[in-house]
Structure 1
């Protein structure tokens, strides 16, 4: 539930919880955001011509500092290529209050409207909102400031201290919280705040900041500016970054694998200036497991909020943001939501709380699926279907990416500062200082990974959608899934499946699995199965997925000490469309020491070297 905000007669937002104003009266809040925080951190001048700039804020509030920083970035011709804004907030307000706070501000309102479209589902944890065509990344850490600062993987260039006053909200200004903040700073990080409270100045000094009192922005007489420059040598404290080596300067990179796992990494590298060559043994992209007619992306919910649930929520948000950038809705994908039906023993497992991510299905949704009104089902609003091959093609369309098919790599060898990729005859197909292996089950043989991988065969059934059939308006998931309104080159189709055969790397079509898919559809959606039974015989597609022992992806360095420059991205299992875009972003962010979209414990759960 959103934090209540009261609006005073002069239009100023007020927090009943802290008995304090979010900002000064109308107009003054905007001047404070610019005069205290932007000017106090030397912006926009300090970020000129930088590839990436990161701002860390304590107290997101109603987002005014973020919007002002975003607007300054957009207006600056010397702006960095990418702006990261990381903010902690224990009690997020509603999107409506964010919009009301900038009503009448013509420069900020369009930005606030774009922000409001993604500002929902902010459960405790870390959320990445991708704005301005992905060039502005807002990372919201929802929860206690001290705990969230310790969970973040982030090195800030500038820090905004902007909580409610130290007298009203002392925890966000105290020494333990500022010590947690320092782990996100580098020598030279600029800091600004509107308060000059003695306790805050003393704590900043103890943490290694050198500060000065300067003229304030009315109605405040003074403010603080500071720089992190301790007399001791700061130590790297980010477990997800400390052993990956220095951030490289973009040059040449090779990605091995032309499916979804490879294409997502290639795009993330190309967007940062790498010249990327994608190699694949097949003659065309998405020839393997990414070539299915249509697949689902959807968050997973659980009562105990498992690692899988947290990753799937972050992944669904990431996937949807990129789909909206690259594809045509209705033709290539649909963000239509997914109905998740619980069958058998799952009924007794309980349910996660209802919020923007998930809620119990209502009577209208159950009726649309022709299910009994007492069916156990939940509605996932941030889910839908996508044509993976279309997505892969769009990802590889970046001008910094080149494709080479019919290039079967048998071995990798370190030569000087490059990795050479060779075929079975020993001929070098490509070489580069950075190689990301995204070749599915073949990663095991090529890399000798400590984490064993498992081949999982899957066969789908699909056919033309009968025009007279009354099918659910959106996909249904459960034991298997049903996509009733996907698109194919021949027109609208339905898709169901998939089989799940462990330790089977064959992709032949098997009649027994075709029958299995249709039988399971009859259990999931009996009415839909009956309507499709008299139609044309369904077609089939089969592919081989790759999974790890713990069913989580592998995304990170193989061995940064012994094999620097060699990374792996694989083991998406049956959730490639939910995971791959997120984990590719994570991998490349780790490589470049950028803020991560996940807390470090989740990032560590995806490390290829985990036990």
Structure 2
């Protein structure tokens, strides 16, 4: 549940926030605004230090009510010399509620518009990483929920500025101990500025032991002194692995104009790359991403496994993009999705029923009796309700991403082979004609990525599998919508009861079939019958309503070829060494809407040595597999 905060009446608009857990205030006696500006922002030499830089990364220990982030964001927005990208990474073991974060800004009217935007994204804060996006993707807040020492072991970046914040060392010694500072030091480069309000001797000694050179400076009343300094150890720090170098934007060719390729192109273009997207089709989303509509819903497992955690990170990323780029109703709708667990019950993690019940309910919870009745399912039917879910028209998202400034799409360009060239790669067609050259190439052509990877490196045979799928759909008629559930249902195939029809109007859609090792997207009458049979198990009442449509041929179908991996996780990473400039982003199976946006941001983060949007171990799980390595 959200951290309990007591609001003490001190005559201000919002009151003074107090933590019963630690017996301490969230901000200084005179309010937190001066502390955020003078102690942290100016203590790290900002905004002057980031002037003219392509990106800047701030690390904060203790998000609290988010005031330091709001002040830093406001300073970035007001600065004409601001960096193109601002990363703010903050740790928090006991996250406050969105309502308390907004209330904490009421004393500072100039911050309220920023706080309102922040409040809208502060949901579902389960343990782990949560990437929140502002200013069209130029301000990225990575909230790391958990113990600072543990969560920083899952990050890989070099901070430019460090805000050491938290309740007093006497009240919360864990966040000020030597091991915490060692974790912070691992995220610093030589010269990283650091600032804090405490001058406790134990803090100064521990910082010095970790390589920080700090000095007392005049504080703001009632505090006489603060600490400022930088990471500048007298020794050469030993690292398990060298941090990645920050790469300057250049030219890139993305092969494939589906969800994966368009997401990568947009993420790189937002960072200044010039991206050419090549595709064999005459229009974007000509392959599996041409599905009339797809469902977006998280995976749930009792042990909250890698797939489950990644799916939540991916859904948050996709929802952010949909809200920013798509038209509600015609391109997408956040309706929620009911999962009817017909094959086996989906057990929620035990901690979701106690410590994290409120945050978990933002994601998934047992379906209510009312929701089951709306699907004509019995009250005892095993089912979950996924609140932050819905349907999306994939082609709409693809086209929105391809419209990002810096992205050029070229159709009828079937890439067949890759050749090394000076400073990069040449992309050739089947006749050997050059289609494009670039420093960086990203393979996002679904199952076709396998042959392209082999052409570039004969020792590489990616473990990608073609999976043909067919959906069945039909137009709405008067009264039909009232006979179907008011929201999508999945669990054994799916039913989207009301989505835009390919030719206009509204349609219902069910499926999809799942046929391994078939790269041909032909339409088959047998698959329509298969989709009906599964719907009869998933939603017997809805299947009965639609039965006549199937029997009289009042149905249509769409087929496409998805691409999957043995792990059921996407394949995201380099082919050969990082210096070769060849990446693959593929293998998303039936979860392209879930994973594409996240993978695009993860690829960009690794290229630019940015903070990761997910934990390191989750990112490592996406390393491309080869056939020999299975």
TM-score normalised by structure 2 residue count: 0.93
Alignment of 1:383-398 (within 5 A): 383-398=389-404
**Relative to structure 1, is the Cα distance of residues 534 and 350 closer, same or farther in structure 2, using a 3 angstrom cutoff?**
farther
Q: Does 1:543 align with 2:546?
A: no
Check whether the contact 1:90–1:143 (CA below 8 A) recurs between aligned residues.
Answer: yes
Structure 2 residue corresponding to 1:603, chosen from 595, 619, 623:
619
* RMSD, aligned CA: 1.6
Check whether the contact 1:55–1:158 (CA below 8 A) recurs between aligned residues.
Answer: yes
Residue matched to 1:131 = 134
Check whether the contact 1:150–1:181 (CA below 8 A) recurs between aligned residues.
Answer: no
- Secondary structure in structure 2 of the residue aligned to 1:127: strand
Q: Does 1:2 align with 2:5?
A: no
More displaced stretch, 600-609 vs 377-386: 600-609
CA displacement at 1:408 relative to structure 2: 1.4
**Relative to structure 1, is the Cα distance of residues 196 and 350 closer, same or farther in structure 2, using a 3 angstrom cutoff?**
closer
**Relative to structure 1, is the Cα distance of residues 223 and 609 closer, same or farther in structure 2, using a 3 angstrom cutoff?**
farther
> Using the alignment, how far apart are the partners of 2:53 and 2:252 within structure 1?
22
TM-score normalised by structure 1 residue count: 0.96
Residue matched to 1:56 = 59
User: Which digits, 9 at most, give the CA deviation of each residue in 1:51-76, with x for residues without a partner?
Assistant: 21111000101111111111111111
More displaced stretch, 151-160 vs 308-317: 151-160
User: Which digits, 9 at most, give the CA deviation of each residue in 1:298-357, with x for residues without a partner?
Assistant: 111211001000000000000000011111011100111111111133367988645211
- Secondary structure in structure 2 of the residue aligned to 1:130: strand
Residue matched to 1:577 = 593
Q: Does 1:452 align with 2:476?
A: no
**Relative to structure 1, is the Cα distance of residues 128 and 348 closer, same or farther in structure 2, using a 3 angstrom cutoff?**
closer
Give the paired residue count.
Answer: 605
Structure 1 residue corresponding to 2:496, chosen from 472, 483, 487:
483
> Using the alignment, how far apart are the partners of 1:85 and 1:246 within structure 2?
19
Alignment of 1:170-319 (within 5 A): 170-235=173-238, 237=240, 242=243, 246-319=245-318
CA displacement at 1:171 relative to structure 2: 0.8
> Using the alignment, how far apart are the partners of 2:92 and 2:530 within structure 1?
48
Check whether the contact 2:424–2:580 (CA below 8 A) recurs between aligned residues.
Answer: no
Residue matched to 2:356 = none
Residue matched to 2:18 = 14
User: Which digits, 9 at most, give the CA deviation of each residue in 1:260-318, with x for residues without a partner?
Assistant: 11111011111111111111112221111000100011111211001000000000000
**Relative to structure 1, is the Cα distance of residues 358 and 440 closer, same or farther in structure 2, using a 3 angstrom cutoff?**
same
Residue matched to 2:94 = 91
Alignment of 1:50-129 (within 5 A): 50-129=53-132
**Relative to structure 1, is the Cα distance of residues 571 and 40 closer, same or farther in structure 2, using a 3 angstrom cutoff?**
same
- Secondary structure in structure 2 of the residue aligned to 1:99: helix
CA displacement at 1:231 relative to structure 2: 2.1
**Relative to structure 1, is the Cα distance of residues 344 and 434 closer, same or farther in structure 2, using a 3 angstrom cutoff?**
closer
Q: Does 1:495 align with 2:512?
A: no
> Using the alignment, how far apart are the partners of 2:420 and 2:69 within structure 1?
44
> Using the alignment, how far apart are the partners of 1:597 and 1:173 within structure 2?
25
Residue matched to 1:404 = 410
Residue matched to 2:432 = 426
Q: Does 1:359 align with 2:365?
A: yes
CA displacement at 1:235 relative to structure 2: 4.8
Check whether the contact 1:187–1:234 (CA below 8 A) recurs between aligned residues.
Answer: no
Q: Does 1:30 align with 2:44?
A: no
> Using the alignment, how far apart are the partners of 2:155 and 2:132 within structure 1?
15
Structure 1 residue ranges without an equivalent (≥5): none
> Using the alignment, how far apart are the partners of 1:269 and 1:37 within structure 2?
31
**Relative to structure 1, is the Cα distance of residues 17 and 342 closer, same or farther in structure 2, using a 3 angstrom cutoff?**
same
User: Which digits, 9 at most, give the CA deviation of each residue in 1:168-197, with x for residues without a partner?
Assistant: 111111111110111111111110000011
> Using the alignment, how far apart are the partners of 1:335 and 1:182 within structure 2?
41
Residue matched to 2:604 = 588
Residue matched to 2:332 = 333
- Secondary structure in structure 2 of the residue aligned to 1:133: helix
Q: Does 1:324 align with 2:323?
A: yes
> Using the alignment, how far apart are the partners of 1:345 and 1:359 within structure 2?
16
Check whether the contact 1:99–1:113 (CA below 8 A) recurs between aligned residues.
Answer: yes
More displaced stretch, 37-46 vs 98-107: 98-107
> Using the alignment, how far apart are the partners of 2:219 and 2:461 within structure 1?
57
Q: Does 1:437 align with 2:451?
A: no
User: Which digits, 9 at most, give the CA deviation of each residue in 1:11-30, with x for residues without a partner?
Assistant: 211111111111123x5311
CA displacement at 1:250 relative to structure 2: 1.3
Structure 2 residue corresponding to 1:152, chosen from 155, 158, 161:
155
**Relative to structure 1, is the Cα distance of residues 235 and 594 closer, same or farther in structure 2, using a 3 angstrom cutoff?**
farther
CA displacement at 1:82 relative to structure 2: 1.5
CA displacement at 1:108 relative to structure 2: 0.8
**Relative to structure 1, is the Cα distance of residues 591 and 349 closer, same or farther in structure 2, using a 3 angstrom cutoff?**
closer
**Relative to structure 1, is the Cα distance of residues 608 and 100 closer, same or farther in structure 2, using a 3 angstrom cutoff?**
same
> Using the alignment, how far apart are the partners of 1:197 and 1:300 within structure 2?
46
> Using the alignment, how far apart are the partners of 1:344 and 1:165 within structure 2?
52
User: Which digits, 9 at most, give the CA deviation of each residue in 1:568-601, with x for residues without a partner?
Assistant: 1000011000011101110111011111101110
> Using the alignment, how far apart are the partners of 1:6 and 1:135 within structure 2?
34
> Using the alignment, how far apart are the partners of 1:79 and 1:417 within structure 2?
31
Structure 2 residue ranges without an equivalent (≥5): 354-359, 455-459
- Secondary structure in structure 2 of the residue aligned to 1:273: coil
